[in-house]
Structures are given as C-alpha cells and as structure tokens.
C-alpha cells in the first residue's frame, strides 16, 4: 500500500483524497491544511488524519475539536508520495521540502511546467512519468484538451488545432472572483498560455488557443477546431473514436442537456460524489466535419477532471501499474465510463 | 409498506423519490414523467419503475431503452398515496385523477392553497394533515419561514414578522430563466405572496414579506426581522432555541461559510446526495437582538428543504406515525441534523 | 427630405430614430409602438409623432398623456421608407402592409433572409441594395463579422474563417432572459446560423461559426480566426488595414480596457448617446499572425452596431447617396471614428 | 467662480467633474489621476487640465499625448476647494495635503466618518456643513436612505427603520469583483455599517440595516420598512410626500420598469449623461402601509446619486448658497426632477 500525503486540502486536494481512498493499492496517509474552517472539519469527519500546514494556526484546529496528526513536514516524512494541491505558486515553494525528505511529489497545473520533470496526462504520456520523481498534472483545461487531442493525433494526425476556451470566472465557492457581467479576454494576447501548456504534453503539436473568462462557476466550455491530416471516414468515424475513449463522454442529442447545469444534474442523478464529472463532455450534435476540419464543443468540469489524472500519476511515479492498467483501475474504482 | 407514486419526476420529484426509498415504512411504486430525457434515464438507472405521463411520447422512452411500467393513471391506481411534483398549476389539473382512484395525494407549493384541505409544514402543523386526503407541502420559501417562525412563536410569541426574500432567479438547470444582471422586485407589490402563504400555516401570524429576484441559482436568502412578544433572555437564548430544532442549522463563525457556494461545498463534503441541504442555514453571527427585535439571515436550498416535508406529509396522510416520530425517522434515515 | 417611418420602437427602433434625426437628408415621420410604457413616453418626450401599432391599445396611450398621430397603417402611408424594427418574425408579417402602400422597407436581422431581396451591410455590399425595394440589415453579429471580413477579403483573400461567438444572453432590459450561471451552446449544431448569414453578404466565403450564450448583457465577443490566402507583411500590416476602416476601432494596449464594462464606460466618457458603440472593438493586443492564420478578439455592441447600417440602407434604397458618401455622412453626423 | 479641484478621477470623480462644470458659480480647475489610461484620455478630451497624482507615472501620460498641468500638490494649491474621489481610505491619507494648503475638501463615503467634521447629505443636513472645512458626502447607500428618511422623519416621525440592502457586487467596469453566482451576507453581522452611517446624518434615528451582495452591477435595491410615529392619512399621503421631494422619483405602474436595466434604459432615453440616475427610484406600486408600518422598494444608482450631493457640499463649504437654493440650482443645471 502506497501511503499518499495530500498537501493542500481545498477544491482539488479533497477530491484527490477521496479518489485515492477508493483505490485498492494506496491509502491516504493524511492531509495538510492551513485554515481551521468547515473544510478542515470535513476532513476530520471523513477520518483523514489532519496535519497543520501552518503551525501558527494549530491552536485554531484544536479549538474546533480537531486533533492534529502533526505538521506538513511530518506528513511528508510519513508518506511515500505527496500530492501537492496548494494554491498556484505555493507548490514550487514546497518542492524543497519534498526534496529534503526524498519524497516523490505530484504538482498541479497552477504551477509552472518547470516545477517538475514531466507534465502529465494519463491518456497522452503516462510512460514519461514512470522514471520521474516529480510530475505536474496539467491544468483542468489542458487535461481536457490532451484527452481530446490524443486519439485524433494517433488516428488521423493533427495538422493544426484552434481552440477557444470559454472559462468559468471562479469555482462555486469563490465569491470574491468576477466578472459579474462581462466577457473578459484573458489573456488578451493570443495564443493564451493554454496552447503552450498543451505542448508540454504534445511537444510537436501545432495549436493556437484563445482564452476568455465569463460569469459562470460550473464548467469551462471549449469550442474546438482541429484540422486533421487524414480525412476521417465521415463524422461517425470520429464519434466512434470518441466513444472508444474512457474519459470522453458524448452527450446524446435526446438527453436534453444544454449546459453545465443539466450536466451536473445528470452527474448528481448518477450518484457522483460532489456531482463530479471526471470526463470531458462532448456535445454529440456538435461534432461536425467540414473536409478535414473537425469541430465540436466540450464542457470540462474544472474541479474534477484532473482527479483521476492525479491517481494515475501516483501510479506512474511509484511504478505500481502501467498506463492502461492504472487508467482502467482508476476508472473502475471511481465509476468512470458509466 | 406504503406504496408511494411520484407523479412528476423533476427537481423535486426525484429528490422525494430517493428520500422515500430511504424510509423503512414506504416504498416507491414508480415515477411518472413526460419527457424521455436524461432524467428519465436516471430514473431507470435508479431502478424506479417509469410510467409515461404523456402517452403520446411513450415511444420516445422505448427508443432510449426504457421499458415503461404503464401510464400515470396506472401509477395512481397502483399507489397508496401520490406525491404530485408536476410543474405549478399542473397539480390542480391532476387532482381529479387522484379523486377518481380515491388515492390521497400531496401537492407542492407551486399550487394554490385551495388545491388541498391543508397547507402542510412538518414542524408547524403536522397534526392538521392527519385527517386529510389531500395536503399541500408549502413552497421552499414558506417551508423555510415556517420552520424558523414556529419555535419563536411557541417560545416568545410573535408580534410581527418582516422578511425580505432575496430569491434565486432559477434552478441550476433552468438556463432559460433570468435575470442575468438585475435585481427585480418580484412581485412589486407588498406583501409578496409569501406572507399570505405563511399564514396558511400560521393563520393568526402578522407577517409582511418583500420578494426580490436576483441572478443566482443555488439558494434563496432571507433577511428576517421578528418583533417578539416576550423578551428573550439574551441572544444566546435564541441561539439555544434554534440549536434545539432539528431542521435549523446554525452556521458557526469559524467555518468561513460566506454564501451558497461554500454551503453546498460543505454539504458535498458531508456526502449529501446532490449536495442537498434539507435544513434552513442560519448565519450564527447574524443572529441579533435589539430589544424585542430579532434579526438574522438564513439561506434556503430551494431544491431540497421541502423533501423531508414530503416524506412527513406521507406519514401524516396515511397515519403511519405521529409528527415527532415521523420527523425523527425522516431525519435519521436522510442524515439530517449532522 | 426623405420621410422615414420607424415601425417598432424598441432597442433598435429608438436608436435608429435618433440616428435618422441626426441626418441632414432625412427626417423621422413618426414611430409606431404597441405598448403605452416608459419607452412610449420617451418617444413623445423626444417629440417623435407616435403611432399605435395595435389599435386596441390606443386608449392606453391617451391615458398616459400621449396624443397618437395615427395607426401603423397611417405611418406607412405617410412615409417614404419604413424601418421595421419589430421583434423577430413580426417584420415578415408586416411586409404585405408595406407592399400595399408601395413603400420600400428595411428589415432587421431577426428576420429570415428571404424577407427581402438583399441582405445588407454598408461596408460590404451597399451597391446591391441600390435597386432593391426591400433590404434586410443583417444581425448585430453578422454586421460585426461582415465589417471585419470585408477588408481582409479584399486585401489578402480569405481561405477560411472560423469564428466562435460568445453571445450575450439578453439585452440589459430583458430581465426574463437567461442563462444565469451557464455557458450554453446555442445552437448546439455547427455551423451556427451566423456562418450562413454571413454568406448572404459574402456568398462565396468559406466560414464556420460556433455559437455560445453566456450570462452577460452588454456585448458579444467574437474569437476570430481567418486563414488568409496571401501572407500579410507582418501583423502591423493588418493593424494598419483595420485602422483605415471607419467602423473598426482598435483598442490600444495602454487603455486598460478589459471588457464590455470598460468599453461602455469609455463610450460614456466620450459622450456617446446611450453609451452606444457603433464600431467593432478589436483588442489590438490580440491581433496575431501565425503564418497565414490571423487571430483576434472583437467586442460587438449588439444594440448599436446595426444603427449606422440602417441609416446607410435608407440611402441605398432611396438612392440619396452612394456607399462611400453615405457611410461618410453617417459617420460624421453620429460621431463615428472619434 | 469657485475653482474646484477633483483629486481622483474615477467612477465618482469624473461624474462630479462634469456636474461641477455644468454649474454657473464654479469651474473645474483640474483633475488628478494616477493611471495614464482611457479614463485619462477621456479627461483630456473633455478639456479638463490633467494633474499627475503619482509623479512616477508622469511619463506615461506624455506617451499617450496628455500634457500634464502639474502634480496633485499643484492642483490643491490652485483650487479653492477639493473634491477627493480617490479610492476608500486614500482620502484620509490625502487630508494632510489639503490641510497644508489650507484648502477645504470634500471626501466620499468610502472614508470613515472621522475623516471630516461633518457627514453630509444635501436634503438632510446641508446647514451643518456651512461652517466646516471638511465634509464627507455619505456613501451611495446612505445618501439614498437619508433622502428617503428625511421627509418621513419631518412629517410623521420615525419610530424605527429596518432596511435590507441588496447591493450590487461591483460597478460595471470592475471585472475583478464578484460574486458570480451567490448571495453573500456582507457584512454577516447585523446591523451592517449602513445603519450607523445613516446615524452620522440622523444621530437620533433608530435604524437597523442588513447588507447583502448579489451578482449585479447596475444598481443597489433597498427593501425598506419604516415604522412611523404618526399614522399617515393613507398611502396617497405618503406618495404625495415623496412626489414633493426633488430627488425621489416614483416609478409609475404603467411604465413597465421592472429593474435596473429598464431604469437605465429610461435614463438613456431621457438623454441623461452616462445613463446616470441621480434620484432614488421608488417603485410606486410597492409603497404600502400596514398601520404605522410603511414598506417600499427603491433602486439606487451607486455611481450617480452622490454626484449632486458633492455639488451641494461644495456650496455648503464655500458659503455660495444656502441649502434650498443650492439644491434647486444643482437640480436645474443637471436636469434632475424631469
Ligand atoms: N480549482 C480548480 O478548478 C483547479 C483545477 C485544476 C487545477 N487546479 C490547480 O490545483 C491547485 C490547487 O487549487 P485549488 O483550487 O484546489 O485551491 P484551493 O484554494 O481550493 O485549495 C488550496 C488548499 O491549500 C491550502 N494551502 C494554502 N497554502 C498552503 C501551504 N503553504 N501549505 C499547505 N497548504 C496550503 C489551503 O488552505 C487550501 O486548503 C492549483 O495549482 C490550481 O491551479 C485547480
Ligand atoms: N424547483 C424548486 O426549487 C421548487 C421548490 C419547492 C417547490 N417547488 C414546486 O414543486 C413543483 C415541481 O417543481 P419542479 O421544480 O420539481 O419542476 P420540474 O419542472 O423540475 O419538474 C416537473 C416534472 O413534472 C413533469 N411533468 C410535466 N407535466 C406533467 C404532467 N402533466 N404529468 C406528470 N408529470 C408532468 C416534468 O416532465 C418534470 O419531470 C412545483 O409546484 C414547484 O412550484 C419547486
Ligand atoms: N436587441 C438587439 O440586440 C438586436 C440587435 C440586432 C438586431 N436586432 C433585431 O432587431 C429587431 C428588433 O429587435 P429589438 O431588440 O429592438 O426588439 P424590442 O423588443 O426591443 O423592440 C421591438 C418593438 O416592436 C414593437 N412591436 C411589437 N410588435 C409589433 C408590431 N406588430 N408592430 C409594430 N411594433 C411592434 C414593440 O412594442 C417594441 O417597441 C429584431 O429583428 C431583432 O432580431 C436586435
Ligand atoms: N463607485 C461607487 O459606486 C461609489 C459610490 C459612492 C461612493 N463611492 C466612494 O467614492 C470614492 C471613489 O470611488 P470610485 O468608485 O470613484 O473609485 P475609482 O477606483 O473608480 O476611482 C478612483 C480614482 O482615484 C485615483 N487614485 C487612486 N489613488 C490615488 C491617489 N493616491 N491620489 C489621487 N488619485 C488616486 C484612481 O486612479 C481613480 O481614478 C470612494 O470613497 C468610494 O467609496 C463610490
């Protein structure tokens, strides 16, 4: 049993913790958190050993009835591998701590690619992380794009990809984030950082991305165009290709699913924890071929799609299983590919 | 085992179905639905017998692989009690169907009070529904207010209540509803219909309500003022009173819960199905006394708070248990009062 | 002086009326309206003769102190040309009325292209409307795209255009429209109707469009990709091309304009009536060349960009001036190209 | 001619500048700004002498073609009175500068009441500022409440006022502010700071306020309850009282004005600069009496209502006119009380 420490227990950290717990070959050693708030109470009630990321606030935990298992340093010492899910930029600051303990670690997409030897996506480049000590699971958007592009790349070849990312302004619990009533080019320059980030996974890929931020909290939506190298044998060929992928969900036309609200309602009905949608959600009706130009729209649940990737990254770093085995076990335990 | 038929399987209907299924003394006979969409698939996958509310669309169900168990008429015939969760106004049209089969029925708050003999809230007037054949579970807002006002009414007496209801514009899956960027007096006239609706539960209560609609989807928020008849012995007295109530949750100050986003995140962390919050959520810090004037703010999860009330209403109509017994069993089975 | 009747005095109609009034060669004969509301009062206070579109509601106008000048039929009879700015679909129903009076008419983009002989954009195909009796000013999005594509088409040739339209859910005064918190593919199928609509202006153009609706009210934003036939001589060449266009505004980087809010604030500071932005607003920093692939983002003020086009369309239909003369006079009188 | 310097030329500052310019007895000496952005360009194009608030950024102004008239220090030296419209808290830091030059100054509502001798509202306490060197125009919300309460206080006496403030999350140009999809108690504690702020104007008034923040940008909405001391002679009595006030606008029922979107559309139709609504907007239909309890809803344009108050405050501090004269001149020059 691989002991996994989760450093940073917020939106991503708590989901990764639950996903790790669901695996037969790993266990959650504990979670490190800064603030003694409702999320900390949730960790304790979920029976995760809680470690204080910030020792100065240890008393606060005690006051709300949480027995601390130690400090973040202790957690790193007691874990075989760390998943760092602290806010953007903090991960890089934490890396020396992991090095000191000689503990392999997985970082998140908010970090620069330089934080780790490899930028990781389970579908696209699992094997590259097998010899690494540090890997970075690419961001929610890049994960969504990597999964989508991988089968097209392998099957038809990609001449060029052009993607407009209509991004949610903030997560549902981030009341301080806007915009309230605006569509904000973000960044204004083109390509947005998402294109180069995809290239950390597919170094040769020709991809241009445009990023915009809108007043929504539930999911990103990508408007995708891919000019393929080879002509698919009609649009059904592409649909079949997507259907064969485990983390691509095609939304059927009859379903009446028109956006993130209905998608999450669907996930709730299916009993998904937190209504999480780990898969890319591609509107079937939107899949269109114009010659070699493929178009479609997909929704990406920013809080969830990287979660199975973190689990797989743990296996890649620790050598527990190879890529296909890991993905399949992760899918099965989480209930992906309903 | 009471056989419960759910007529109308949408936002409310599917939640009531799951809640009924969790009870030891009742079972879901089936659910009737109009559209063969993702919600219908969800019903089938949850193993609820599906009945066609609209026979003309029966083929559509078959096409997506759902075997129909019959028509809505069949469902009524085969059930001991019906929960009607069809859209506002449709319930009243359905009443003759229930009468024809001599089947007691529970309607929702979207119906006029005249649809049933009694307007029902489990905390406030359970007993009144014990002899009834038809009851209406009051709306999400009225349910929230009734629970809140009942203990104050009993303990201190209420001189006058004044409530501003800052209502969500639509449910998360209702993409057609606005406003997008406006605060809309709705209705413009005062009192809004919520005041008189509360009076269907507390006939003598002096209450004035003001209703507004804002661009949110997750929860209603009530800004409440109650002028009490007797002076509480300090604000802690009131807090204790609220704490003793099973369906009032007081949000502690340390929690860092600032709105509906964090509240639902909290509910998700606690493993609540669909992130449902069946309780009123009162911000502890907001509870304030100015002489006999009590103030506070509470958030109401519109999709969820009426769900346990429907379960209790079934017991009231069918005589299974008395009020305190029913509420306590509902709470226990659902996991209310964490 | 050409007498212009405005049939339908809402978001578009009132702006067109004010723009017509600002011209030296035309006058507003009157405006026809259905509802005796604040907009009607505004028309009367602006000294426009008010005609009743719906005779049954004539009394309502009198009750709020508006003397009616007649019916919509009278207005058509007394006008040399009609601008029909009624809601989508109503224009087509009105066409027989205009034919009966032998009055040329201009329709809006909410109508099908078949409502008129020509779909009109002042920059792209003014001359085509010179012999027509009926013209349709294309929609706000199509107007924005036509203006943008015309100079590229003429200068470099267009191999293919791919546009993602991030559309505002409703106008600021449309409180009934959503979504509140969702990004909605609309339509789900690709291309959206915008592509074919652009082809009513540029019949040979290869263009694919993707449409999405988001919770904003102020402006549409287009993420544009154009694969050009000829290589521009660097990105400055393209910037110069845009700068030479009268209804394309390039937003300079220093300005600190990050979205529709600041754009409208800018327009307000400039004294624009209603904060209207008649020009396409292209973020200068976003203009990017990758080989023959040009990218950029532009914001389109849906309520305003078609207004100068309507004025020009009047001149095209009535033969008052040719295209360049008309555009230049419209620009000068309105204050376009600040 | 009183020379007025505007220190801080943002949302409030630029509106005050334009309002001052419209007065016969005062002139804008200049405006001081920090950033060389589109707003600075607007100031220059409006022919306001521009002073650099931050000398380090003076070059930036020159680069975009703005000739600086000097520094903020120069502006203070050359002005008879300063309107400080810098961001919250900066005003207090600026006070020593004004003292050094012995220049009277007006601060805005973002400052603590202690920044000045008097907290000012033109309707309620003009005279109190007549002997002061420093006055603070109270915030947009407090201004709206003061105007509303003053006539009730004088005519009937106020036993107690209870107000729920449904506040806009940010101004239209503030894309960084949220919430996106939440109703946020802000502050959670009751009374919110608005109550005590009203008491800086009406020291004896018994008022409790509850504050909430919602995802809108256009206007605040107040749900107001006032328990009067004397019984009005029916609701028409109250309506007449409001109608007699110059800065209270009653929205007639026929108008079809349902929120801030239509209100601003109305203001645009009336030719108001920037669509500004300087008056409180009270929904006529909402004015309700229940015994001595008066209820209603009013919308407050946060960017505009304090503007005439600043003009009046200048006259109070400089002794140009008395309260009624000043208010009437301000109204006439701006076009208030349409
Ligand atoms: N939220 C998303 O949608 C999303 C999606 C994909 C990737 N990511 C990436 O995941 C990472 C985490 O983001 P998140 O949204 O979960 O953030 P979050 O703010 O929700 O959670 C961060 C957690 O880290 C804790 N923390 C802060 N400083 C710490 C420290 N010094 N040591 C230990 N813990 C600390 C915080 O208390 C909190 O529990 C970021 O790199 C982010 O870019 C986020
Ligand atoms: N959504 C809320 O927040 C909420 C809260 C409290 C009470 N309510 C009340 O609950 C009731 C149901 O509301 P909802 O939000 O669940 O609606 P909904 O639209 O989500 O679901 C209604 C369901 O009824 C079905 N239906 C429609 N016509 C039907 C018919 N003739 N026969 C049978 N089924 C039919 C629809 O297919 C759908 O499944 C209404 O009275 C509403 O006012 C809703
Ligand atoms: N609003 C936009 O952003 C926008 C942009 C470009 C084009 N358009 C198009 O312009 C047209 C008008 O749209 P709008 O947004 O101004 O609509 P609107 O609803 O704001 O105004 C329509 C007006 O027509 C009146 N009306 C309704 N029925 C009528 C009838 N039978 N006869 C005469 N008048 C009638 C209404 O009272 C109202 O005054 C539509 O074709 C629309 O698609 C709208
Ligand atoms: N925006 C509103 O809705 C509103 C309403 C009523 C009152 N107020 C109050 O008015 C004041 C100004 O608010 P605003 O919304 O206009 O702010 P803003 O941010 O729009 O404008 C502030 C201006 O001050 C300038 N500035 C910043 N630091 C400065 C300095 N040190 N010296 C000189 N100028 C400086 C900025 O460049 C900007 O031009 C605040 O006290 C605020 O609370 C604002």
Q: Which atom of ligand 2 is nearest to the CA of B34?
A: 37
Residues 6+ apart with CB under 8 A from C203: none
How far, in Å, CA of A305 to CA of D64, rounded? 45
Radius of gyration of chain A from its Cα atoms, rounded to whole angstroms = 20
Q: Name, in order, each residue with C-beta under 8 angstroms of C80's C-beta and a sequence gap of 6 or more.
A: C2, C3, C4, C29, C103, C104, C318
For the domain made up of D2-138+307-334, give the CATH fold. Answer: Rossmann fold (3.40.50)
Spatial contact of B278 and B247, defined as CB atoms under 8 Å apart: yes
pLDDT at D123: 98
What is the separation, in whole angstroms, between the first and last Cα of chain C? Answer: 27
Architecture per CATH, D140-300: 2-Layer Sandwich (3.30)
* pLDDT > 70 in chain C, percent: 100
**B6, B11, B14, best to mutate for ligand 2 pocket (most atoms within 8 Å of CB):** B11
Q: What is the ipTM of this complex?
A: 0.97
CB D110 near ligand 4, within 6 Å: yes
Q: Using an 8 Å Cβ cutoff, are A81 and A105 in contact?
A: yes
Give mean pLDDT, residues C300-318.
98
Q: List pLDDT tens digits, range C180-197.
A: 999 999 999 999 999 999
pLDDT value at residue D337: 76
Q: Are C5 and C29 in contact (CB under 8 A)?
A: yes
Rounded CA separation D205/D202 (Å): 6
- Could you tell me the two tokens for D149? 């309460």
Q: C-alpha angle A62/A28/A197, rounded to 5°?
A: 105
Q: Is D284 in the pocket of ligand 4 (CB under 6 A)?
A: no
Closest ligand 4 atom to D306 CA = 6
Q: How far apart are CA D16 and CA D309, in angstroms?
A: 9
Whether the upstream peptide bond of residue B122 has omega within 30° of 0, thus cis, is: no
Q: Is A140 a catalytic residue?
A: yes
- Reduced to 3 states, what is the DSSP secondary structure of residue D162? strand
Q: Which residues have C-beta within 8 Å of that of residue B240, sequence separation ≥ 6?
A: none
At residue A337, the pLDDT reads: 76
| Nearest CB to B221 within list D189, D212, D223 | D212
What band does B212 get if pLDDT is binned at 50, 70 and 90? very high
Interhelix angle B140-155/B306-318, nearest 10 degrees: 70
Secondary structure class of C113 (helix, strand, coil)? helix
Nearest chain C residue to D275 by CA: give it: C274
SS3 B127: helix
Kindly give the pairing relationship between strand C293-300 and strand C220-228.
antiparallel
pLDDT at res. C338: 54
The counts of H helices and E strands in chain B are 12, 16
d(CA A198, CA B242): 53
Write the CB contacts of C86 (distance below 8 Å, at least 6 apart in sequence): C7, C8, C53, C94
B232 φ, ψ to 5°? -70, 160
Q: Over the stretch B138-161, which tens digit does the pLDDT of each residue have?
A: 999 999 999 999 999 999 999 999
Q: Is the pLDDT of residue B338 over 60?
A: no
Would you give the DSSP letter of residue B176? T
What is the dihedral sign for C-alpha C79, C85, C86, C90? positive
- Ligand 1 site, residue A310, Cβ cutoff 6 A: no
**How far is it, in rounded angstroms, from Cα A199 to Cα A207?**
8
Nearest CA to ligand 2 atom 18: B10
Residue C158 pLDDT more than 70? Answer: yes
Q: What is the pLDDT of residues A112-131, one digit of tens each?
A: 999 999 999 999 999 999 98
CA–CA separation, C288 vs C284, rounded Å?
Answer: 9
Mutate to test the interface with A, among D175, D182, D213, D259 (most CBs of A within 10 A): D175
Residue A105: helix, strand or coil by DSSP? strand
B11 Cβ closer than 6 Å to some ligand 2 atom: yes
What is the Cα–Cα distance from C4 to C24, expressed in whole angstroms? 13
CB-based contact B243:B337 (threshold 8 Å) = no
Please tell me the least confidently modeled range out of A54-58, B29-33, B211-215, D5-9: A54-58
Q: Which residues does C contribute to its contact with B (CB < 8 Å)?
A: 169-170, 172, 174-182, 184, 215-217
Q: Alpha-carbon distance C120 to C129, whole Å?
A: 7
- Alpha-carbon separation of residue B187 from B184, D146, D151, D165 (angstroms): 8, 25, 26, 17
- CA-wise closest residue to C181 among C223, C211, C213: C213
Give the pLDDT of residue A338: 54
CATH class of A2-138+306-334: alpha beta
Chain D residue numbers with beta carbons less than 8 Å from the beta carbon of A176 are: 177-179
pLDDT (0 to 100) of residue A39: 97
Per residue in C229-280, pLDDT tens?
999 999 999 999 999 999 999 999 999 999 999 999 999 999 999 999 999 9
Q: Do domains D2-138+307-334 and D140-300 have the same CATH topology?
A: no
Binary contact (B171, A218; C-beta < 8 A): no
Strands (E), B57-173: 68-71, 81-84, 105-107, 118-120, 134-137, 158-168
Q: What is the CA radius of gyration of chain C?
A: 20
Decide: B36 in ligand 2 pocket, CB within 6 A.
Answer: no
Tokens found for residue C274: 């209603």
**Which residues neighbour A94 within 8 Å (Cβ) at sequence distance 6 or greater?**
A7, A84, A86, A105
Q: Indicate the pLDDT class of residue B267, thresholds 50, 70 and 90.
A: very high
Residues of chain A with pLDDT under 50: none
Verify whether the Cβ–Cβ distance C175 to B178 is below 8 Å. Answer: yes
| Contact state of C214 with A183 under an 8 Å Cβ cutoff | yes
State in Å: Cα D9 to ligand 4 middle: 7
Residues D171, C261: C-beta atoms closer than 8 Å: yes
Distance to chain D for C181, nearest Cα, Å: 7
Q: Which residue of B has its CA nearest to C213?
A: B175
Q: Which of the 8 DSSP states describes residue D338?
A: -
- Residue C337 has what pLDDT? 76
List the end-to-end C-alpha distance of chain D, in Å, as a whole number: 27
Sequential DSSP letters for C100-146:
HTT--EEE-TTS-GGGSSEEE-HHHHGGGGTT-SEEEEPPHHHHHHH
C164, two tokens = 């993602």
Domain residues of chain B, as ranges?
2-138+306-334, 140-300
The residue assigned the tokens 């993905």 is A327
3-class DSSP state for residue B160? strand
DSSP state, B304?
T
Residues D51 and D70: beta-carbon distance below 8 Å: yes
Over residues D216-230, the mean pLDDT reads 98
């Amino acid at each position: 049993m691989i002991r996994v420490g989760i450093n940073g227990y917020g939106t991503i950290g708590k989901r990764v913790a639950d996903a790790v717990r669901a695996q037969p070959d790993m266990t959650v050693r504990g979670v490190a958190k800064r603030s003694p708030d409702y999320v900390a109470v949730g960790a304790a009630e979920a029976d995760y050993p809680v470690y204080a990321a910030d020792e100065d606030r240890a008393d606060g935990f005690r006051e709300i009835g949480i027995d601390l298992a130690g400090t973040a340093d202790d957690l790193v010492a007691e874990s075989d591998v760390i998943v760092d899910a602290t806010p953007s930029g903090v991960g890089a600051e934490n890396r020396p701590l992991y090095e000191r303990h000689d503990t392999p670690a997985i970082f998140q997409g908010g970090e620069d690619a330089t934080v780790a030897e490899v930028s990781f996506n389970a579908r696209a480049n699992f094997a590259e992380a097998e010899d690494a000590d540090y890997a970075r699971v690419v961001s929610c958007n890049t994960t969504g794009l990597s999964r989508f592009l991988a089968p097209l790349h392998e099957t038809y070849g990609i001449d060029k990809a052009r993607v407009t990312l209509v991004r949610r302004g903030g997560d549902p619990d981030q009341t301080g984030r806007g915009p309230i009533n605006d569509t904000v080019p973000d960044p204004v320059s083109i390509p947005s950082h998402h294109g180069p980030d995809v290239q950390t996974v597919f170094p040769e890929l020709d991809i241009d991305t445009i990023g915009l931020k809108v007043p929504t909290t539930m999911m990103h939506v990508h408007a995708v165009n891919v000019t393929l190298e080879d002509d698919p044998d009609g649009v059904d060929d592409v649909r079949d290709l997507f259907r064969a992928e485990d983390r691509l969900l095609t939304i059927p036309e009859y379903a009446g699913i028109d956006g993130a609200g209905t998608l999450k309602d669907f996930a709730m009905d299916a009993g998904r924890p937190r209504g999480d949608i780990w898969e890319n959600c591609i509107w079937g009706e939107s899949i269109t071929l114009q010659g070699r130009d493929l178009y479609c729209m997909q929704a990406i649940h920013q809080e969830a799609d990287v979660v199975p990737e973190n689990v797989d990254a743990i296996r890649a770093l620790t050598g527990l299983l190879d890529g296909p085995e890991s993905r399949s076990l992760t899918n099965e335990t989480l209930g992906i590919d309903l």
